[in-house]
Amino acid sequence: MNSLPADIVLRVDRLRTHFELGSRVAKSVDDVSFDVKRGETVAVVGESGSGKSVTSLSIMRLLSPPGRIVGGQILYRAGDGRVLDVAAVSQKEMRRIRGREIAMIFQEPMTSLNPLYTVGDQIVEMIRLHEPLPKQEARKRARRMLELVEIPAAERRLDEYPHQMSGGMRQRAMIALALSCNPKLLIADEPTTALDVTIQAQILDLLRRLQAEIGMSILFITHNLGVVADIAHEVVVMYAGRVVEQASSQRLFERQKHPYARGLLACIPDASRDRTPSGERLRLNPIPGNVPSVMALPKGCSFAPRCPLRIPRCEEDPPLLVAEPHHLSRCWRHDEL
Amino acid sequence: MTDSDILLRVENLSKHFPTKSGSVKAVDGVTFDVKRGTIVGLVGESGSGKTTVGRCTLRLIEPSGGRLIFDGKDLVSLSDREMRSYRRRMQIVFQDPYSSLNPRMRVEEIIGEAIDTHRLARGSARRERISELLARVGLDPEHGRRYPHEFSGGQRQRIGIARALAVEPEFIVADEPVSALDVSVQAQVLNLIQDLQQSFGLTMLFIAHDLSVVEYLCDEVVVMYLGRVMERGPSRTVYAMPRHPYTQALLSAAPVPNPKAHRQRVILQGDIPSPMNPPTGCVFRTRCPFAIDACAEVIPPLDPVAPGHYAACIRRDDPAVLSQGKRL
Ligand SMILES: Nc1ncnc2c1ncn2[C@@H]1O[C@H](COP(=O)(O)OP(=O)(O)OP(=O)(O)O)[C@@H](O)[C@H]1O
Ligand SMILES: Nc1ncnc2c1ncn2[C@@H]1O[C@H](COP(=O)(O)OP(=O)(O)OP(=O)(O)O)[C@@H](O)[C@H]1O
Ligand code: SF4
Ligand SMILES: [Mg+2]
Ligand SMILES: [Mg+2]
């Protein structure tokens, strides 16, 4: 029997998802663990290719071959109280969970919206798939959903097709569709990355408000540390398929216990730090080199080739260590940071 | 400041695209100066006309109206032939390092092509020049033999920059050159841009949507919305005390990596209107928290509010607007 502490909705435990490409293996996700608590937002942050999307697709069981979960568990507390290992349940059970209990939104709204149906029809169908409501009732609920995500003239918008909406509006329609079954967990994969900052601020504001109202948990995937600081309670930093640091947002931004997170924050331009009081520009401190390919990871710590603190011991793979209470770091030298 | 300090003066520039469903006013009466040796940032939301301004200034597309005074000469009045000698002095770097490089050409051919177009070097001098350029942007001269797909995003952006530098330009339009890059690599490219600016005395129009990059890198900033300039001025002044409600909203919405930065968020309602049918008067009024009836009546002129600092808002001296700017 699987079990979970009462306040935890999702526990990703030593998850490993690999892509076998002929004789080569892409270890896209390799030993990733974190918890999502009820009503909390966990942000997974990392640069391109670090394994954020593969993590979320693994949780949704939406991986396409040759992607395969090769190890670990994804424990989820279902609405009926059972604790399921999502990595192991049947596709049939998974279809029931997806949409109804765990919903997902993406960077590109057209990956979830169907261009051939009106927004209203799609939300109505989603509602009726999970709850046997008469059409008129479902339509009323759909209108309320559009109002909830602040789409003006909701009644009229129900009959519009996705292409008739602006980018920000479509994004909100997608959120309305995702939330129309009251999910317990929302997985948001870069939902604001393609949007302008003023629209992004609207959507983040909206998610925060909806979370307070509905009490859902959010797993928020992004590469933008500014967005993380804005929305997350807890932060999971990924690098080359692994979690390298994890802490509460407050803690992580105050003090990084891994040279990678520290390096990331140091290289985001900040005029108050990177220009002198008289306005002269100081040079930025980039992390040298590039993110390694998950197909050819360096031996030992995968950050070592770019790390300013590298020592001979780093040729050994560091485990995720407790650097401080509730602050994890996969670095041999965390106590010096 | 004398006129000779100014390398490029964009004066009342407009560009209207005729389409089936009407004319798109992509750029409408845009005016700003770029001083020699400085970097001017051009910011604004998607569709505000940044790329169109950038392309017009190089006459990669023809302006519908206005003047582009480059080194004292109005480029708009030049014939194609006369324009040729100016082309060499002005180059562009694109956002997308993936699609802006011909995948079937080796890197040395890509850079060599620019050298050949302007007949700058031949034979061994040409080869040497290519190696120098590659080294200058932090690539190995050996890399010249390879094809673009063999490089990472950051390296491809370096190739794009090397190609632009090949003709020894004085002025570069960089259209979102770091937007597609991861932050660790973005910082590498931003350092490179500064080094080049300093060592070659380059002048640059830097188009971006990341406001903290612009605050750090640019001497001056021009804020656009729906084809018009809302505010412009020295970056330090504009960021310290934004006078236009749009600039204020933009700055307040930009997420910063600090959870304690509890800034007064201005959440704008709604979306950017269609440039096919922009609002009358102030184009920002449909989303502006300070809009009053009068805002629909006149197009606010870009008036001076401080030395070199201009804002196009009829309420720019209103205490409410002023205090919003101070609170950021
Ligand atoms: N279908 C696939 N076949 C082979 N490799 C894959 C596949 N999908 C993902 N990968 C690899 O897995 C790694 C992680 O990819 P993932 O999409 O999770 O990155 P990400 O962190 O979401 O990046 P981004 O910020 O660019 O979205 C990448 O190196 C990628 O090349
Ligand atoms: N060739 C064209 N034909 C018709 N309309 C065009 C054309 N090029 C641009 N536009 C329109 O002009 C407006 C300004 O576009 P532009 O590409 O200059 O914006 P931008 O500020 O660079 O936006 P982004 O941040 O998305 O790159 C947009 O509404 C765009 O749709
Ligand atoms: S383990 Fe070593 S190489 Fe890895 S981050 Fe820590 S110090 Fe750097
Ligand atoms: Mg992704
Ligand atoms: Mg553009």
Residue A235 has pLDDT above 90, yes or no: yes
Cα B178 to Cα B270: distance, rounded to the nearest angstrom = 28
**CATH code for the domain in which residue A309 is found:** 3.40.50.300
Using the 8-state DSSP alphabet, how is residue A283 labeled? P
Whether residues B45 and A225 touch (CB distance < 8 A) is answered with: no
Does the residue A165 lie in any domain?
no
Task: Report residue A165: phi and psi, to 5°.
Answer: -105, 155
Confidence category of residue A166, pLDDT binned at 50, 70, 90: confident
Strand ordering across the sheet containing A8-21: A24-37, A8-21, A67-77, A83-85
Does the residue A275 lie in any domain?
no
Give the number of A-B residue pairs with CB atoms closer than 8 Å.
126
List of chain B residues whose C-beta atoms are within 8 Å of the C-beta of residue A152: 270
| Nearest chain B residue to A232, by CA | B259
Let me know: does A61 contact A86? Beta carbons within 8 Å: yes
Does the residue A63 lie in any domain?
yes
Let me know: does A161 contact A118? Beta carbons within 8 Å: yes
* Position with higher pLDDT, A21 vs A310: A310
Does the residue B309 lie in any domain?
yes
Let me know: does B101 contact B53? Beta carbons within 8 Å: no
Let me know: does A217 contact A300? Beta carbons within 8 Å: no
Cα B89 to Cα A307: distance, rounded to the nearest angstrom = 40
Average pLDDT over residues A83-96: 93
Residue A5 has pLDDT above 60, yes or no: yes
Pocket test for ligand 1, best of A28, A47, A62, A220 (most atoms within 8 A of CB): A28
SS3 content of chain A, % helix, strand, coil (to 5): 35, 25, 40
pLDDT tens, position by position, A90-107: 999 998 898 789 999 988
Supply the residue whose CA is at minimum distance from atom 7 of ligand 2: B17
Let me know: does A71 contact A145? Beta carbons within 8 Å: no
Q: Is A258 left (phi over 0), alpha (psi -120 to 50) or beta?
A: beta
Confidence category of residue A198, pLDDT binned at 50, 70, 90: confident
Q: How many domains does chain B have?
A: 1
- A257 touches ligand 3 (CB under 6 Å): no
* Residue-number span of the structural domain to which B246 is assigned: 242-328
Q: Using alpha carbons only, how large is chain B's radius of gyration in Å?
A: 21
Quote the pTM value: 0.92
Residue of A165, A193, A196, A291 to mutate, interface with B, max B Cβ within 10 Å = A196
Does the residue A197 lie in any domain?
no
Q: Kindly provide the b/e burial profile for residues A162-171, where b requires at least 16 CB atoms within 10 angstroms of the residue's own CB.
A: beebebbbbb
Atom of ligand 1 nearest to the CA of A55: 18
* Position with higher pLDDT, B250 vs A111: B250
Does the residue A212 lie in any domain?
no
State CA A136 to chain mean position distance: 35
| Nearest chain B residue to A206, by CA | B267
Whether residues A47 and B183 touch (CB distance < 8 A) is answered with: yes
pLDDT attached to residue B1: 54
Q: Chain A window 267-306: which residues touch B at a Cβ cutoff of 8 Å?
A: 267-271, 274-275, 279, 281, 283-288, 290-291
The position carrying tokens 């293996």 is A25
3-class state of residue A209 by DSSP? helix
Atom of ligand 3 nearest to the CA of A304: 3
pLDDT tens, position by position, A121-142: 999 998 888 788 999 999 999 9
Using the 8-state DSSP alphabet, how is residue B276 labeled? T
pLDDT attached to residue A269: 95
pLDDT attached to residue A2: 86
Residue A200: which of B239, B253, B272 has the nearest Cβ?
A: B253
| Ligand 5 is an ion; residues with CB less than 5 A from it | B 51
Confidence category of residue A249, pLDDT binned at 50, 70, 90: very high
Cα B244 to Cα B114: distance, rounded to the nearest angstrom = 42
3-class state of residue A275 by DSSP? strand
Cα A168 to Cα A174: distance, rounded to the nearest angstrom = 10
* Nearest CA-CA partner of B233 in B214, B249, B252: B214
* Residue-number span of the structural domain to which A232 is assigned: 1-92+222-270+296-337
Let me know: does A13 contact A73? Beta carbons within 8 Å: yes
Cα B289 to Cα B249: distance, rounded to the nearest angstrom = 9
Task: Give, in order, the Cα–Cα distances in Å from B130 to each of A319, B142, B146, B152.
Answer: 46, 10, 13, 20
- The identity of residue A138, as a single letter, is A
Cα B276 to Cα B184: distance, rounded to the nearest angstrom = 39
Q: Which tokens in the block code for residue B35?
A: 């001083």
Average pLDDT over residues A167-182: 87
pLDDT attached to residue B263: 67
Supply the residue whose CA is at minimum distance from atom 26 of ligand 1: A48
Largest Cα span, chain A:
68
pLDDT tens, position by position, A32-76: 999 999 999 999 999 988 999 999 999 999 999 999 999 999 999
pLDDT tens, position by position, A298-313: 999 999 999 999 999 9
pLDDT attached to residue A120: 95
Transcribe B131-177 into DSSP letters. Answer: HHHHHHTT--GGGGGS-GGGS-HHHHHHHHHHHHHTT--SEEEEEST
Does the residue A208 lie in any domain?
no
Cα B301 to Cα B312: distance, rounded to the nearest angstrom = 5
Does the residue A17 lie in any domain?
yes
Q: How many domains does chain A have?
A: 1
Cα A144 to Cα A140: distance, rounded to the nearest angstrom = 6
- A292 touches ligand 1 (CB under 6 Å): no
Cα B86 to Cα B35: distance, rounded to the nearest angstrom = 17
Residue of A197, A204, A293 to mutate, interface with B, max B Cβ within 10 Å = A197
- B21 touches ligand 2 (CB under 6 Å): no
Does the residue A18 lie in any domain?
yes
Cα A182 to Cα A187: distance, rounded to the nearest angstrom = 13
- The identity of residue A155, as a single letter, is E
ipTM score of complex: 0.88
Q: Which tokens in the block code for residue A281?
A: 């520009």
- Where chain B has pLDDT below 70, the residues are 1-3, 262-263
| Nearest chain A residue to B257, by CA | A226
Nearest ligand atom owner, CA of A52: 1
Task: Give, in order, the Cα–Cα distances in Å from B323 to each of A287, B238, B247.
Answer: 39, 14, 14
Does the residue B313 lie in any domain?
yes
pLDDT attached to residue B231: 98
pLDDT tens, position by position, B245-267: 999 999 999 999 998 886 678 88
